[in-house]
Amino acid sequence: MNLDFTPEQIAFREEVRAFIAENYPDSLKSKLADSEELGKEDYLAWHRILAKKGWVAPGWPKEYGGPGWSTVERFIFADECAKADTMMILPFGINMVGPVIYTFGTPEQKARFLPRILSGDDWWCQGYSEPGAGSDLASLRTKAERQGDHYIVNGQKTWTTLAQHADWGFFLVRTDPDAKMQEGISFLLIDMKSPGITVRPIITLGGEHEVNEVFLDNVKVPVENRIFHENKGWTCAKFLLAHERTGIAGVARSKRGIEKLKQIAKTEQANDRPLIEDPFFRRKIAELEMDLTALEYTELRVLANEQAGKGPGPESSLLKIKGTEVQQRITELVLEAVGHYGAPYFRGFPQDGDNIYPIGPDYAHQAAPRYFNMRKTSIYGGSNEIQRNIIAKMVLGL
Amino acid sequence: MNFEYTEEQTLLRNTLSRYFADAYDFEARRKMTGSDAGRDAGVWTAMAEELGILGAAFSEEQGGLGGGALENMLIMEEFGKALAVEPYLSTVVVAGGFLKRSKSAAAEGMIEQLISGEAIVAFAYAEPTGRYDLAAVKTEAKASGGGYTISGQKSVVAGAPWATHFVVTAKTAKGVAAFLVEAGAKGISMRSYPTVDGGTAAEVQFDNVSVGADALLTAEDGIAEIELVVDEATVAACAEAVGCLHQLHAQTMEYAKERKQFGRAIADFQVLQHRMVDMFMEVEQAVSMTLMATLKLGEDAKARAAAVSLAKAKVGHACKFVGENAIQIHGGMGMTDELAVGHYFKRATILEGLFGSIDHHLARYEKLSF
């Protein structure tokens, strides 16, 4: 057992760092720094650069276009991306549906979808949650009736992240209404341009249009777009959720978040001294770092298990709970750090040229919206209460 | 010991509560805060003329109804329940608080204007680098020609675009003092913006603004008076938070009883029951602390300040705990702009930091009590 990186791993880190420094687009840097709202092309710019390099899907097996990295290399890559504040690669294609397709799909499905996920030509969204079925996913009611070589899909999905840009969606639908909860569900890939699909925005607490309602009204879906067997979609769903939860830990990004928090605390003044010298505030940052370090080494252990061919299993619930708690806590402390300047609301603002002086420091502009927005992390991907149930049942056997 | 309200106090509360229920429901509020002005000026007029409550906290000699801090508490609690954005806190509690005690001849006429609703006052005390320290003021008031010339920048001045006057804190030759300045005075410029909780605020720049000697509301070394008035305002903010907290808890329980998951109401799950019990306990303690601090506002400076800081820290904690859990228990619905619960959460979050964060008040309490 050894915590040190090998010379090869250190060289790999240098390679990643150099690549990011040379290739990460300046336009994205300034947009993120100015908290500008991002368009579809902004989300995809970095994706396409990484795709060209063969690095966009670190977790995929080599035969499907992954880089063939070990879990430690993947960890290093994520770490370097976070340090450089690169855009997140959207998870719907790469981390969610991609692995489902290469694990459960037919050769035709793999050939048709995987290359376009890698290249960024298809933007994916996730059709899991419904108004009556959030954390209780298995009670979903969107139904798909078989008519010859098609399904006719009717129902409503919700919390569909960035569906306004999506070309394709992966949906859980009920194909056998008489079967028990999990038994009658299938996993369908649906072209979002199909007639009968309506996407309606949901505006969230921070004022963002990030999620949507998706209505499906007699949407015709070819049977060949079903992944795995009819009524066995729950197998795919569970597999995907376990993958989703590993990504949710977000250790590398949280490390970067704490660094930024420290920078802010060095800049902000409290009683004529930098806030970072306030013993209360220091203590809180220190505690947060402890929690993050505990999470980091737990994640490394989970990854090592995975490398040994076990997992990711229910222990990924632990990563989800602790990871989201740390992420939320960072945004809380940033908001606390900026004091009065957390209150101004900056959406679409200012352009009128009548600036007498800027309103507060740049790093304060998104402090409150981010704090509000990050409340979602303990709700989505199976709420943290549900994750605790999973640990109770699957790990502790209670 | 007696925690009963008088008949007049109960009447005051019921009058305001009924008015808000009729004229200030969530949809009406959304329209007002979403408009260019950020509010409906008619609400303020109604409070002055129809309800006659703007004078509730002034003595009868001053033209008021003879109340004080307890009346402010009741009113602010109703403001919290309705998420009202009207500038009662800065106008009546802060400006009124200074004017009540002022010996300036101008003060009397000004109180009249406050009660009649003609004058609206914004409190310009925060600065870009001062954080929560009331004495860390860089704005200067230089003596000139029998009066003063005020220069400096004030941050996040709530309600500034609506104000007819400002109460401004500034450094004199002797210390920090508070001044009353007309909003239209030469040399004042502002940049206004919405705030995350549905309010309206501005950065206000004072550039050689000339005022007469009677603009001085406190002694030239007036930090003790400023601390007293801000303590009163802090307790009023606690009361507003209590109103918010009641709603956050009530709406969460209502939702949990209706929302079904796994074939039963989520309120049936013990983990959520215990969470709602914890929220309830936080709300009840916030109520107790607000009442305690309100009743201790008349004590000597040290006892008063300790009581206020204790209350604000406790209430701040309740805002965080109850607010975050209200969103969590509402699940995805709690994240939407459409439901009121998120708006209560946002207001509670701003109140948590208003006049000092939990840490600020814990530190102040520590200093005063050991």
Give B119-143 pLDDT, tens digit per residue: 999 999 999 988 999 999 999 999 9
Give A18-58 pLDDT, tens digit per residue: 999 999 998 888 776 656 667 899 899 999 999 999 999 99
Give the per-residue pLDDT at A296: 92
Binning pLDDT at 50, 70 and 90, where does residue A243 land? confident
Give the gap in angstroms from C-alpha B152 to the nearest C-alpha of chain A. Answer: 13
Q: State whether the Cα torsion A55-A60-A63-A69 is positive or negative.
A: positive
CB–CB of A357 and B338 under 8 A?
no
Q: Taking residues A137-149, what's their average pLDDT?
A: 94
Cis omega (within 30 of 0) for bond into A222: no
The percent of residues above 90 in pLDDT, for chain A, comes to 71
Give A279-300 pLDDT, tens digit per residue: 999 999 999 999 999 999 998 8
For chain A, positions 216-255, list CB contacts with chain B under 8 A.
none
Give the per-residue pLDDT at A354: 46
Catalytic residue among A80, A130, A210, A244: A244
Give the per-residue pLDDT at B219: 96
Give pairs for A73-78: CB < 8 Å, separation 24+. A73/A9, A73/A12, A74/A303, A75/A252, A75/A300, A75/A303, A76/A5, A76/A9, A76/A12, A76/A13, A76/A16, A77/A16, A78/A251, A78/A252
Give B78-125 pLDDT, tens digit per residue: 999 999 999 999 999 999 999 999 987 778 899 999 999 999 999 999
Give A317-361 pLDDT, tens digit per residue: 899 999 999 999 999 999 999 999 999 997 654 444 444 446 889
pTM across the whole model: 0.94
CB–CB of B335 and A205 under 8 A?
yes
Give A213-233 pLDDT, tens digit per residue: 999 999 999 999 999 999 999
Beta-strand pair B165-171/B121-124 = parallel
Give the per-residue pLDDT at A355: 46
Per the prediction, chain A carries an average pLDDT of 90
Give B215-264 pLDDT, tens digit per residue: 999 999 999 999 999 999 999 999 999 999 999 999 999 999 999 998 99
Q: Which residues of A touch B196 (CB under 8 A)?
A: 342-345, 368-369, 372
Cβ pairs A/B, distance under 8 A? 140
**Global ipTM:** 0.94
- Chain Cα centroid distance, residue A222: 29
Q: Taking residues B152-170, what's their average pLDDT?
A: 98
Measure CB to CB from residue B324 to each of A268, A341, A375 and give the nearest one.
A375
- How far lies A100's CA from each of A111, A178, A237, in Å? 14, 26, 8
Give the per-residue pLDDT at A136: 85
- Chain Cα centroid distance, residue A378: 13
One-character DSSP codes across A88-107: PPPHIIIIIIHHHHHHH--H
Beta-carbon count within 10 A of A267 CB: 15
Give the per-residue pLDDT at A247: 66
Per the prediction, chain B carries an average pLDDT of 96
The verdict on whether A37 is a catalytic residue reads no
